[in-house]
């Protein structure tokens, strides 16, 4: 597996990004604060109104470094990408499979199977680790209900049926998710998934990290030459990275949900740092965001055994590994897509 390179997260809105030869420069008030050789990076993510020179954009595009601009809330604004890369024949195959209800269903089943399996695994791990705490009966019920949804996934005969199964699985899972959170309950109480806007601190964390994961999935798909906008499960909508969202489904529980729970339960994030706006939407302060990013970067460096490849890879490369396996399947090297199933 290839090496994991760094993603640079620029959180100062006043920063300006430039380049000097093969080096990325980060400037604050015309003063160079940081220099990083481009070949050490696989992505740059800017928060707020960070500026960047066209010369740097060109360098990033040339080297396949994903350069993205997000609002301070983590909402996606724009991305700079160069010429479309990869194999046009592979993308054509992707489109044909997306157009075929039968083949799209098979792929979508793989993503949902992975998602529900991993959701169940998050709950099972919790039960193993906290037999004395929380509310195991509820969580146990959740495990049982998800097992039924797994069966239903396999038996889904068309995409809408499968979307229904996924919705039901999500309802069950988020219905018991609050039981996994054991610390600072007055702030970190989860009352169901809310996105626009996130209505509590847990949802704010989840939304923010899902955005970072979507960025990594999009970049991974482009690296292997697939079109991130043409999905199998998510319907195409202009501007929506449907395939990245497809690929994310199975990775959300393992990469984000567990991470958020452990940030809270190990008290790496405190009660301060969340602001509730008049609309009820909850925002994170810069400081919390920086802490979350730092912890996320650390998490990406950790190594895990990839269940299908049977080799140890850094957590940060999981989206890439899955994109690669998806491309292999579309090319006909693998008879089906093997989702990432956590142990």
Partner 1 sequence: MSISYPDSDLLMLSGIQHFAFCRRQWALIHIEQQWQENVLTFSGREMHERADDPFFTEARGAVLVTRSLPLVSRTLGLYGVADVVEFHRDETGIVLKDRPGRWRSYPVEYKYGQPKIDDRDIVQLCAQGICLAEMFGTPVATGDLFYGRTRRRQPVEFDDSLRNRVRELTAGMHELFEKGVTPSAEYSAACKSCSLVEICLPKTGSRRSVRRYLDEALR
Establish if 2 lies at the interface with partner 1 (CB under 8 A): yes
Closest approach of partner 1 to the CB of residue 39, in Å: 9
**How many Å apart are CA 194 and CA 206, to the nearest integer?**
10
Q: Would you say 162 and 109 are in contact if contact means Cβ atoms under 8 Å apart?
A: yes
**How many Å apart are CA 49 and CA 15, to the nearest integer?**
8
Establish if 338 lies at the interface with partner 1 (CB under 8 A): yes
Establish if 304 lies at the interface with partner 1 (CB under 8 A): no
Closest CB to partner 1 among residues 62, 135: 62
**How many Å apart are CA 245 and CA 309, to the nearest integer?**
22
- What the block records as the tokens of 79 is 């991305």
Q: Judged by CB under 8 A, which of 123, 206, 263, 324 binds partner 1?
A: 324
Establish if 309 lies at the interface with partner 1 (CB under 8 A): yes
User: Residue 236 — φ and ψ, nearest 5°?
Assistant: -70, 135
Q: Judged by CB under 8 A, which of 20, 62, 236, 287 binds partner 1?
A: 62
Of 82-90, 190-198, 285-293, 294-302, the window that binds partner 1 (rule: CB under 8 A) is 82-90
Q: Judged by CB under 8 A, which of 48, 64, 136, 314 binds partner 1?
A: 64
Closest CB to partner 1 among residues 86, 136: 86
User: Residue 124 — φ and ψ, nearest 5°?
Assistant: -60, -40
Closest CB to partner 1 among residues 101, 307: 307
* Size of the chain in residues: 343
Q: What sign for the dihedral angle of Cα 331, 333, 339, 340?
A: negative
Establish if 191 lies at the interface with partner 1 (CB under 8 A): no
Closest CB to partner 1 among residues 215, 329: 329
Distances (CA, A) of 4 to 9, 38, 39, 43, 216: 15, 14, 11, 11, 12
Footprint of partner 1 on this chain (CB under 8 A)? 1-3, 62-64, 85-87, 89-90, 113, 117, 150, 224-225, 307-310, 324, 328-329, 331, 333-338, 341
């Amino acid at each position: 597996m290839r090496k994991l390179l760094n993603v640079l997260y620029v959180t100062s809105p006043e920063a300006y990004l430039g380049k000097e030869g093969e080096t990325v420069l980060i400037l604050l008030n015309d003063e160079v604060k940081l220099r990083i050789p481009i070949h050490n990076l696989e992505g740059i993510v800017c928060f707020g109104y960070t500026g960047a020179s066209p010369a740097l954009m060109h360098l990033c595009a040339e080297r396949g470094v994903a350069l993205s601009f997000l609002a301070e809330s983590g909402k996606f604004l724009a991305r700079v990408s160069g010429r479309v890369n990869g194999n046009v024949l592979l993308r054509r195959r992707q489109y044909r499979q997306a157009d075929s209800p039968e083949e799209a269903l098979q792929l979508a089943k793989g993503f949902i199977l992975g998602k529900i399996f991993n959701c169940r695994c998050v709950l099972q791990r919790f039960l193993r680790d906290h037999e004395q705490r929380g509310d195991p009966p509820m969580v146990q019920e959740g495990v049982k209900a998800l097992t039924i949804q797994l069966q239903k996934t396999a038996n889904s005969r068309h995409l809408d049926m499968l979307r229904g199964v996924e919705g039901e699985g999500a309802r069950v899972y988020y219905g018991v998710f609050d039981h996994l959170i054991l610390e600072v309950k007055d702030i970190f109480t989860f009352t169901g998934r809310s996105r626009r806007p996130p209505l509590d601190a847990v949802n704010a964390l989840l939304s923010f990290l899902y955005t970072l994961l979507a960025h990594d999935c999009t970049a991974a798909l482009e690296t292997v030459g697939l079109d991130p906008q043409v999905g199998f499960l998510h319907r195409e909508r202009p501007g929506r990275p449907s395939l990245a969202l497809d690929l994310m489904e199975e990775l959300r529980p393992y990469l984000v949900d567990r991470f958020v729970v452990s940030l809270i339960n190990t008290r790496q994030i405190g009660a301060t740092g969340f602001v509730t706006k008049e609309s009820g939407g909850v925002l994170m302060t810069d400081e919390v965001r920086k802490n979350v990013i730092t912890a996320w970067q650390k998490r990406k460096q950790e190594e895990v055994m990839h269940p299908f490849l049977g080799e140890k890879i850094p957590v940060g490369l999981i989206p890439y590994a899955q994109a690669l396996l998806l491309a292999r399947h579309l090319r006909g090297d693998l008879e089906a897509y093997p989702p990432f199933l956590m142990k």
